[in-house]
Chains A and B, each alone.
Chain A
Amino acid sequence: MTTGLSRRPLQQWEVRRQRAVKLLARRPHAAPPLEFLLELLPLQSELFRWSTEAEWPGAIVTGAGDDTPKLRLDALSIDLLVPRFATFLEGLLPHSPDVLAEIGAGVQAREPTQRALLKHYLAGQDLSEIAAGLDCEARQLEFFPRAFMQPIAEALARDTAVPEDWQENFCPMCGRLPQLALLRDDAAARGRRLLVCGLCASEWTFRRGVCPHCGEERPGQLFIHSVPDPTHVYVDECKSCSAYLKTVDLRKDGLAVPLVDEIATVELDIWAEERGLWKIQPNLLGM
């Protein structure tokens, strides 16, 4: 069963924006990422709307086995995407931090670069070569195709049900890794743990006491690091593989918007990195 963010059309973008505004006032130390997010969300919202109206033949795999992701990103029409990507960059770059603006300008300047970047990203291929040509790091360059594709993938995924018995640590819709976990009470289960996809924002149920990266389930190897404020976001650490991801406990703050709250708790990422941990899937802003 999947509920929540990815199931609600359009209005979710406004919900995210309002949450970002609220957290901006409450958590001034997280202002830079939140302010940038506030510039990004309207552009993504527009892409989401466009994507729901566009035709995407072959994007959803029907009749696939239950262990295969349902969304075929590499089947999306690059010809259809590239013009929108250029428009997206045009709207985004004036509001981007200097480093991103510089890299983005390089992408914006050449249509073949945009095409190659999208093609590589959708196929899940390494971006290092393109990044080298733009004199930047692959993880910095990844921001652009990911920010662009997020709302499109979300729109494509929202109408397809997540298989109930999906047990994998990658997204049942697009096959990408989870960016965060959330805990929620519902009619069937208290404290249901769901992983949230870093790309299409789909949610799928995952076992509570298991590392989503290496599958470690010995209690002595799994740690929770919480802080007094906020109490509803904490770090899940696996000592076996040194991976971490943040969990948003919606039972403690039902008004939290996981994707936004995750970005607004940048201090937890800094602390985890200082501890020598690495994140299973950095958020959109690279943290």
Chain B
Amino acid sequence: MNLPANNLAIKRISASAEPATPGIREMPEIAKLVDISRCIGCKACEIACKEWNDLKVEPTYNFGSYQSHVDLSPDTWLLMRFNELEIDGNLNWFITKDACLHCEEPGCLYACPAEGAIVQYENGIVDFNQENCIGCQYCVAGCPFDIPRFSKETRRVYKCNMCIDRVEAGLEPACVKTCPTNAIAYGTKDDMLALADQKLTILNNRGFAKAAIYDPEGVGGTHMMYVVPHGDHLPDYGLPEKPVAQQGAMAALAVFKRIGAYMFGAGILATALHYLAVGPESPDSDNGGG
């Protein structure tokens, strides 16, 4: 993989309508590509995620599924979900690597009112900065994929950060590194899209006529993409068919900031005009010369 180390330049910051200062380097967009047809459901990626990010082990039990846990949590950022469905009389596994998709248009970031709590980097990673998080959970509501999880202990929200410290050092995320079947690939977004096309062709030739690439337009594409064998069964993978990033909060924030700036300028202008027209205020005008 030919990705540069230290490739973190900020693209967007939560609660800030201004674009980030342009970087002086060209930062390649990175992406993970999850080929569901190659996943054997071993959950090694889950373990790697826990290990690398030093996340707490959460006891679990047999709740009737092959999943390790019922749901994502502040300490489980990656969960292999197992669904099953009969198609043409045959049992089919619908496995999904459920974690942050690192949207190009991140609904969580658009919804976040705390400046700097969510940062999107030029390479596509959307990261939460818990130090700035105010625990309002707007990001939870803003995410079209239901990924961020609120911790009642710390009153902060957590999710996958695509192993940003590894990526910054030029390494692949831990889940990619550990996957024994290479079901998770990592590289530039363009390379991953090209790879996805190849995989799609392979799946089509294997008889999966409805195979599809999941890189939804409604969120501007994602930096974790899927190749799914049954593209006509997206909800069975737990993937929304038409996810949309709600930019309303961001747009409103931009308008209010602009209005505030104009009013501030108008106030200074009015003060200057008043000074020119009336002149400086004399001590006599207030207390009658006393």
Query: B21 on the interface (CB 8 Å rule)?
Result: no
Number of chain A residues whose Cβ lies closer than 8 Å to a Cβ of chain B: 16
> Which A residues are CB-close (under 8 A) to B70?
188-189
Query: A95 on the interface (CB 8 Å rule)?
Result: no
Instruction: Give Cα A114 to B84, complex, Å.
Output: 49
The A contact surface, by secondary structure, is loop
Instruction: Give Cα A206 to B65, complex, Å.
Output: 10
Query: A64 on the interface (CB 8 Å rule)?
Result: no
A96 smallest CB distance to B (angstroms): 38
> Which A residues are CB-close (under 8 A) to B129?
none
Of the candidate stretches B56-64, B140-148, B278-286, the one touching chain A is B56-64
Contact residues, B19-76 vs A (CB, 8 A): 61-65, 67, 70-71
Q: A189 and B61: CB pair below 8 A?
A: no
Contact residues, B69-103 vs A (CB, 8 A): 70-71, 82-84
Query: A191 on the interface (CB 8 Å rule)?
Result: yes
Q: B84 and A188: CB pair below 8 A?
A: no
User: Which of A167, A190, A194, A206 is the one whose CB lies under 8 Å from B84?
Assistant: A190
Instruction: Give Cα A165 to B63, complex, Å.
Output: 8
Q: A207 and B62: CB pair below 8 A?
A: yes
B238 smallest CB distance to A (angstroms): 10
Residue interface bits A143-167, CB-to-B below 8 A is 1, else 0: 0000000000000000000001101
Q: A192 and B63: CB pair below 8 A?
A: yes
Q: B62 and A188: CB pair below 8 A?
A: no
Q: B67 and A164: CB pair below 8 A?
A: no
A-to-B contact residues, CB < 8 Å: 1, 164-165, 167, 186, 188-194, 205-208
> Which B residues are CB-close (under 8 A) to A191?
64-65, 84
> Which residue of chain B is the closest to A190 with respect to CB atoms?
B83
Q: B84 and A164: CB pair below 8 A?
A: no
Q: B65 and A164: CB pair below 8 A?
A: no
CB pairs A–B below 8 angstroms (16 shown)? A165-B61, A186-B64, A188-B63, A188-B64, A188-B70, A188-B71, A189-B63, A189-B65, A190-B82, A190-B83, A190-B84, A192-B63, A193-B64, A194-B64, A206-B62, A207-B62
B274 smallest CB distance to A (angstroms): 65
B68 smallest CB distance to A (angstroms): 12
Counting contact residues on chain B (CB < 8 A from A), the size range is 10 to 19
Instruction: Give Cα A201 to B248, complex, Å.
Output: 52
> Which residue of chain A is the closest to B82 with respect to CB atoms?
A190
Q: B62 and A205: CB pair below 8 A?
A: yes
Instruction: Give Cα A192 to B61, complex, Å.
Output: 13
> Which A residues are CB-close (under 8 A) to B82?
190
B70 smallest CB distance to A (angstroms): 4
User: Which of B61, B62, B65 is the one whose CB lies under 8 Å from A190?
Assistant: B65
> Which B residues are CB-close (under 8 A) to A208?
64
Instruction: Give Cα A165 to B64, complex, Å.
Output: 10
Q: A164 and B64: CB pair below 8 A?
A: no
Instruction: Give Cα A188 to B72, complex, Å.
Output: 11
Instruction: Give Cα A188 to B83, complex, Å.
Output: 10
Q: B62 and A167: CB pair below 8 A?
A: yes
Instruction: Give Cα A191 to B65, complex, Å.
Output: 7
> Which residue of chain B is the closest to A186 with respect to CB atoms?
B64
Instruction: Give Cα A208 to B71, complex, Å.
Output: 20
Instruction: Give Cα A193 to B61, complex, Å.
Output: 14
> Which residue of chain A is the closest to B71 with respect to CB atoms?
A188
> Which 4 pairs show the lowest CB-CB distances between chains A and B?
A192-B64, A189-B65, A165-B61, A189-B64
User: Which of A186, A189, A205 is the one whose CB lies under 8 Å from B67?
Assistant: A189
> Which B residues are CB-close (under 8 A) to A193?
64
